[in-house]
Amino acid sequence: MGTETERKFLVVSGEWRKNAKGTLYVQGYISTEKDRTVRVRIAGEEGFITIKGAPDASGISRSEFEYKIPKADAQQMLDTLCHGTKVEKTRYKIPFAGLTWEVDEFKGANAGLIVAEVELPSADHPVTLPPWAGAEVSHDGRYANASLSKIPYSQWKQDAKKCQTPKR
């Protein structure tokens, strides 16, 4: 069984941009139930379908099964099977302190939100935060991509927005 263990942080500065090259992601959700999500994604020129289970007791680990599918199939699923707002973002992979951080700069209805996540080998794995990582939002469901497809960042009340748009 595949397991995903990740922590998520708001991005508070643009320092991460040095030499960063990103890939455009467009994703949608076929299912966003409490105990499972089914996501379709196009990342660059590749299509994927991903099934994720409910978080475990740590709140940062859950089962995950991801499969490559033809891009045309992914596009058709995005166009016909997904509900809510499509989540659009550019993902940048940034190495830091022995781990690969994924910085997501959201576009469209979620523009203005920049979040960094780091995948870990275990829930208790130590993490050294890069200087551009701010508050942890791993346990704040609003920042889950599935949630952003239902209530995009642009619809949040101004006082509820925790992140600051970093200087470029």
Catalytic residue ranges: 29
How many angstroms separate the Cα of 86 from the Cα of each of 17, 26, 37, 112?
25, 7, 14, 16
Cβ proximity of 86 and 66 under 8 Å: no
Residue pointed to by tokens 């455009």: 24
CA pair distance 140, 25, nearest whole angstrom = 22
How many angstroms separate the Cα of 60 from the Cα of each of 20, 82, 156?
26, 25, 24
